[in-house]
Structure 1
Amino acid sequence: MMGAVIDTIRHKLEEAFSPTRLEIVDDSDRHHGHAGHTGSGESHLNLRIEAQAFAGKARVMRQRLVMKVLEAELAGPVHALSIIATAPGEG
């Protein structure tokens, strides 16, 4: 079951990039006792997104594009976000 934060992130990324693959994993439980861990979940996330929008762009630029879309979530409930952004056919 996904929470409101993950649902919002999924919606924003689908709107911005029309991904062919989108996986969001809540990794918050593994960060118990770490900074940003509130115990409510959805504070530490792993993201894998594949979209044509990333074709021809460097890894850092892809991450910046994702972070711009998720600016509000990164300023609020999301403490840590691991991003793997690829273009179709890159693996």
Structure 2
Amino acid sequence: MTQPDSPPTPLETEIRELLTAAFAPARLEVNNDSASHRGHAGDDGSGESHFSVYIEADAFKDRSRLERQRMVNRALGDIPGERVHALAIKAEAPGIVP
């Protein structure tokens, strides 16, 4: 996980910018979890192989969990599965209690 005082990595910044442009989220958290996966499968040594995203946006209202995740994956283009080994997504509509 990126340390709170560490600057965001380039890919972390790109993920944040793409999701902000696509959804204008009420809340967005992008965490680089790569350090905790160092030496595991999918760790390419870049420090940008594993991320988690929490996003709240009106666009997710009345959408199933699967639809919300697909929307996020589409907004991120080639990042999931090509440029990032693992991406955990939690996407909610504002006001929904998980």
Task: Choose which of 12, 15, 25 in structure 2 pairs with 1:19.
Answer: 25
In structure 1, the partner of 2:35 is 29
Q: Which amino acid aligns with 1:41?
A: G
Q: CA deviation at 1:22?
A: 0.3
What is the number of residues matched between the two proteins?
A: 91
Q: Which amino acid aligns with 1:8?
A: E
Identical positions, percent: 46
Query: Which digits, 9 at most, give the CA deviation of each residue in 1:3-37, with x for residues without a partner?
Result: 11011111110000000000011111111222221
- How do residues 8-87 of structure 1 correspond to structure 2 at under 5 angstroms? 8-87=14-93
Q: Which runs of 5+ in 1 are unaligned?
A: none
Q: Which amino acid aligns with 1:77?
A: R
User: TM-score, with normalisation over the residues of structure 1?
Assistant: 0.93
Distance 2:91 2:80 in 1: 17
Q: CA deviation at 1:41?
A: 1.2
Q: CA deviation at 1:66?
A: 0.3
Distance 1:82 1:74 in 2: 10
Q: Which runs of 5+ in 2 are unaligned?
A: 1-6
2:55 alignment partner, SS class: strand
Distance 2:42 2:95 in 1: 35
